[in-house]
Amino acid sequence: TLKKGKFVFVGSGSNLRHPLYIADMLQALELAMIRDGADGELLIVGGEQALPTRTIVDSICETMKIAKPRFRIPYSLGKMLALTVESTSRLIHIEPPVSRRTLEFFDTNNAFDIA
């Protein structure tokens, strides 16, 4: 969607996401395998810093050498549109391309602090 120029920000893009780098994930898996008491425990793994969604998307675009998304709609409008798409999709028996649940990506913080 980014590459095709069809990505639309819903909301401000200021919600926080916690990116996880492959090396960090591998280290966490290794620690989970060797650390006493980790068996059966829930582990939350994240990189050093939570970043706004807008920053992450902009960074991806810079890395891919593509244009950053230009369009943004308010979250409330996105939610109304998603509800309409969900209802219509149900009527014609197709999977909705967007839903209120998928829009949570733009509204929900997904950042952790264990300090």
Tell me the pLDDT tens digit for each residue of 33-52.
888 887 888 888 887 889 99
Say if residue 68's pLDDT is above 80.
Answer: yes
Determine what percent of the chain is predicted with pLDDT higher than 70: 99
Residue-level pLDDT at 36: 86
Tokens at 69, concatenated = 């998304």
Instruction: Please state the three-class secondary structure of the chain as a single string.
Output: CCCCCCCCEECCCCCEECCCCHHHHHHHHHHHHHCCCCCCCCCCCCCCCCEEHHHHHHHHHHHHCCCCCCCEECHHHHHHHHHHHHHHHHHCCCCCCCCHHHHHHHHCCECCCCC
pLDDT band at 14 (very low <50, low <70, confident <90, very high): very high
pLDDT value, residue 69? 93
pLDDT of residue 115: 64
Domain extents in the chain: 9-107
* 43/57 Cα distance (integer angstroms): 26
How far apart are alpha carbons 109 and 28 in whole angstroms? Answer: 22
Whether residue 84 is predicted with pLDDT greater than 90 in this model: the reply is yes
